Amino acid sequence: MRSDILKKGIETLPHRALLMSAGLKKKDFDLEKPFIGIANSYNNIIPGHIHLNELTQEVKRGIRDAGGVPFEWGVPGVCDGVAMFVEMRLSLPSREHIADNVEIMTLSHSLDGWVGVTSCDKITPGMLMAAGRLNLPAIMLTGGPMKANVIDGEKHHPIEGFGMVGQVKSGKLSADAAEKMLPTMTCGAGSCVGLYTANTMAVVAEVLGMSLTRCATTPALDPLKKIQAYETGKKIVELVKQGIKPRDLMTEAAFENAIRVDMAMGGSTNAVLHIPAIAREAGIERGVEVFDMVSRETPHLCSIIPAGPYEMADVDAAGGIPAVLNRLRDGIKDSPTVNGKSIAEIAAEGKVLDEEAIRPLERPRVGSPYFRGISATARLLNRRRWPLI
């Protein structure tokens, strides 16, 4: 293991003294115990991240119970919802900063593997980029979506505030009436309720095989999320001992599967920025033309906020990503996952529990503006040969 260099030889006596000063015990230097990093993107600014410290504690417990030694550090995160229209220029560059952060910490401390505890827009892509770049055993734990407030049968959540601003500016709603709606839009922990970038990239992580099954859709405050955190901690130790690395999982087929699921669900168009960047770090070229090709042959099966009435918690109740994969199983290309099952096996076992939340192929949603937008974007980028960031 990479960490062996720190565990033996007189040359590393001061190194071990420093690590013991940070809390390690002599028994932690056992050659059979992998050193596992945890890149924890907790902060108390982003609602999708305010609960990540609690999840990280469970990840640590899982690592220890599996015979590993956990090391935790902090990763920054920008809330695009807070930065939007105010100070947005640093959000996309933060993705590269996050990837560099993980690379610096993992390599500098001779870690054997690492866990990305993540949730929102640029953090998950940045961590997946780091996974592909480093190609050391890694696994993602996405923090899960928030749940909308349901009042008089209507769902309310923070992002509907952007629409209210437009209504006020156009004279369709008074500023006072909009301000009175503020308490109804306050939801608590979790990434924004719909299929915005955070949840889109959580879906991508799961389909790429880089997170546990059902991780993407399990709500942030569902007790199952802590169980997933514990199992994620155990799983990274297993991945290290088995020598399974991100490039073994994030294959060319896996990226095409991720794009196909993204198209079927109607995910954020920011996927066009992030998926090619992640693929490139994994040594694979997946350009916008793949989005165009897949969009033309993949039916739109879900109608998720902001495009429709369903929230991510509804998709979870309908069977989660395995259920979506089951709908698409004939078009899914086999690829391994951290679960020990291939994505095709997960697709075969998936069960759809709500025929409206995840429609059958023969009864898709029609007229998706998302697909038209992706196709137009792909054609424009290809014609002008603009590079992806």
Contacts for 174 with CB less than 8 Å, ≥ 6 apart: 168
Residue 367 confidence (pLDDT)? 55
Cβ neighbours, 10 Å, residue 250: 28
Rg over alpha carbons for the chain, rounded to the nearest Å, is 21
| Domain ranges within the chain, ordered by starting residue | 34-148+187-384
Torsion angle in degrees (nearest 10) through CA of 120, 195, 133, 53: 30
CA distance 96 to 235: 26
pLDDT digits (tens, 9 = 90+) for 255-270: 999 999 999 999 999 9
82 Rama sector, left if φ>0, alpha if ψ -120 to 50, beta otherwise: alpha
Please tell me the distance from the alpha carbon of residue 288 to that of residue 191, in angstroms, as a whole number: 26
What's the fold here for domain 34-148+187-384?
Rossmann fold (3.40.50)
Pairing outcome for strands 138-142 and 113-118: parallel
**Do the beta carbons of residue 311 and residue 193 sit within 8 Å?**
yes
pLDDT tens-digit readout, 28-63: 999 999 999 999 999 999 999 999 999 999 999 999
Give the closest residue to 369 by CA, choosing from 222, 285, 269, 252. Answer: 269
Written as one string, the DSSP assignment of 8-45 is: SSGGGHHHHHHHHHTT--GGGG-TTS-EEEEEE---SS
**Whole-number pLDDT of residue 1:** 94
Per the confidence metrics, is the pTM higher than 0.75?
yes
pLDDT confidence of residue 366: 73
Residues of the chain with pLDDT under 70: 367-389
Q: Please, what sign has the CA dihedral across residues 312, 313, 316, 317?
A: negative
CA-wise closest residue to 232 among 38, 23, 49 = 38
